[in-house]
Amino acid sequence: MIFQRTVPQRLSLQPLPDKFADFLRTFAFTGAGGATAAESVEIATPFLSQPLGWVPKVSADVAVEAFDKARAVQPEWHELGVKKRAKIIEKFHDLVLSNRELIMDLVQLEMGKARSGAFDEVTDVANNARYYAGQAPRLLRPQKKRGGMPVLTTTYLHHDPKGVVGQISPWNYPFSLGIADAIPALLAGNTVVAKPDSHTPFTMLLIAHLLSEAGLPDGVFTVVIGSGGVVGSAIAENCDFLMFTGSTATGKILAEQVSKRLVGFSAELGGKNPMIVAKDANLDTAVRAITHACLSNTGQLCVSIERIYVEHDIYDEFCEKLAEAFQSQKLGGALNWKHQVGSLVSASQLETVQEFVDDAKAAGARVLTGGKARPDVGKYFYEPTILLDVPDSARLLREEVFGPVVYIQPVADLDEAVAAANDTCYGLNSSVFAAPKTAWKIAPRVQAGSVNINDGYVAGWASVDSPIGGYKESGVSRRHGAEGLYKYTEPKTIAQQRGFPIWGPRCLPQKAWSKVLSRSLSLGKKTGLLR
């Protein structure tokens, strides 16, 4: 049995449908040997002491088999045409919204987040599906370009698919990061082989089920479950393009692996995201948004805020208000909307967060609120935590915690705040809380792939028409917008020459032609005709 329901009454978890076990079994790719040949792996849930279920564990050979299958069906998928592919993604969009309760149940059970965080995943996927299904037919249409020679050269830009895209994703947003980046890859005519994180395989199988219900042909999106070192590595060795989301450390390993084969690579990696709070910010409205920016998904969010620089004049008032807001958050693990802060994903994540806080305390940092685990609420719960006076020697000053922990530092002015915000090896997301006039001056100076004004991360993330990603060690390439689609394509220029060649007509000697061409180029620049 691949999935077993273990839902005790005391947590009032909603039961999941019976057909669940069947479709999970159907969508886990186990190769020619079938599910029975595969060893199984137990999947834990942060909410319960019993396992959530079991999945087959496969070898690297099975991943290679998945690529063979994906490669065989890719030409047909491409030939179907972008409009027909878009119709399937539109249907998927509708299925995501109509199945949202099931999706949220599963995401919560697998990784322990609060229901509001699970709903964010539903809306993010729907947003990406709607946007790319709407835009891909236009973006992928052959585009007329300026020819090498006006009138005589006709030039078109085409976008061919890369082939088979390999996707490796993390556990923190298993639904959203499991499919949102694959949607443009599929629309561009690629097939996809996807590896979920070992903590969250069931959500990826649900994605495959919904895609199939939407009409996606067999073999176009294949899920291979297994560890990063085995299946992840096989994906990097066999793909025509790699889409990776995860830690900077793994991103560097994979970059080395794919670059040896000269294969393209897109990476969404870690961050240590700063927020600047100016003295002209409206603190009362800011504090609610800032709390969300730090604690959403229990801080296990690549774009969440982990450091706050506040102008000195408002520092005391700000600390007091943010501490009150953190203390008012309801912690809990159940499939309902009663709690704002959920669990951490695992024992090791809890240990990591506690180690960071203990290290900062030992170095001299002060705990304003929180700072400890909450086993009374659930096995991996941790209190929303604010640290002050964090010294240079504390590891969390610069390293990503990936938990509900933030520190606040006073700054003399906004120049100091910008310098502190940029003093990092990362550059994923950032935020500025200020009067709009001040904020729009500060925002362009922050070195990050997104800068949110009077919001923590949602404004930038939800703007799917505009690319998002990381500066420095936070990433390579971008997701969202036209960039998020074109990265999965090979741009191809097709140019037709008429009349005579650009290197000269038959009737003119080369020297005379060189004079004519030079004069034409000068004239073209002067008149603006060749710009």
x/- track of binding to ligand NAP for residues 420-459 (CB under 6 A): --------x-------------------------------
x/- track of binding to ligand NAP for residues 348-387 (CB under 6 A): ----------------------------------------
* Greatest pairwise CA separation for the chain in angstroms: 92
Torsion angles phi and psi, residue 185, rounded to 5: -65, -45
| Under rule CB under 6 A, residue 161 binds ligand NAP | no
| Under rule CB under 6 A, residue 473 binds ligand NAP | no
In this complex, which beta carbon is closest to ligand NAP, that of residue 64 or of residue 495? 64
| Under rule CB under 6 A, residue 296 binds ligand NAP | no
| Under rule CB under 6 A, residue 229 binds ligand NAP | yes
Burial (0-12, 13-18, 19+ Cβ within 10 Å), 38? buried
CB 464 within 8 A of CB 480: yes
Closest CA to 43 of 109, 103, 119, 100: 109
x/- track of binding to ligand NAP for residues 249-278 (CB under 6 A): -x--xx-------------xxxx-------
Residue corresponding to tokens 């909410």: 47
Q: Which tokens belong to 516?
A: 């004519």
Residue corresponding to tokens 């900062």: 360
Smallest distance from the beta carbon of 21 to ligand NAP, in angstroms? 22
What is the C-alpha to C-alpha distance for residues 246 and 228, in angstroms, rounded to an integer? 11
What is the C-alpha to C-alpha distance for residues 199 and 45, in angstroms, rounded to an integer? 8
Amino acid at position 227, single letter: S
Binding region for ligand NAP (CB under 6 A) out of 73-81, 134-142, 168-176, 481-489:
168-176
In this complex, which beta carbon is closest to ligand NAP, that of residue 263 or of residue 428? 428
Q: DSSP class of residue 231?
A: I
x/- track of binding to ligand NAP for residues 185-214 (CB under 6 A): ----------x-xx----------------
CB count in 10 Å sphere of residue 511: 8
Member of 306, 400, 455, 473 binding ligand NAP (CB under 6 A): 400
| Under rule CB under 6 A, residue 233 binds ligand NAP | yes
In this complex, which beta carbon is closest to ligand NAP, that of residue 132 or of residue 315? 132
End-to-end CA distance of the chain: 65
In this complex, which beta carbon is closest to ligand NAP, that of residue 263 or of residue 286? 263
CB 432 within 8 A of CB 443: yes
Binding region for ligand NAP (CB under 6 A) out of 68-76, 162-170, 318-326, 389-397:
162-170
Q: DSSP class of residue 180?
A: T
CB count in 10 Å sphere of residue 91: 18
In this complex, which beta carbon is closest to ligand NAP, that of residue 242 or of residue 287? 242
Member of 27, 265, 402, 488 binding ligand NAP (CB under 6 A): 402
Closest CA to 71 of 240, 266, 257, 242: 240
Q: Is 268 a catalytic residue?
A: yes
Burial (0-12, 13-18, 19+ Cβ within 10 Å), 150? exposed
Member of 30, 135, 245, 452 binding ligand NAP (CB under 6 A): 245
How many chain residues interact with ligand NAP (CB under 6 A)?
Answer: 29
Catalytic residues: 268
Residues within the interface to ligand NAP (CB under 6 A): 168-172, 177, 195, 197-198, 227-229, 232-233, 245-247, 250, 253-254, 268-271, 302, 400, 402, 428, 475
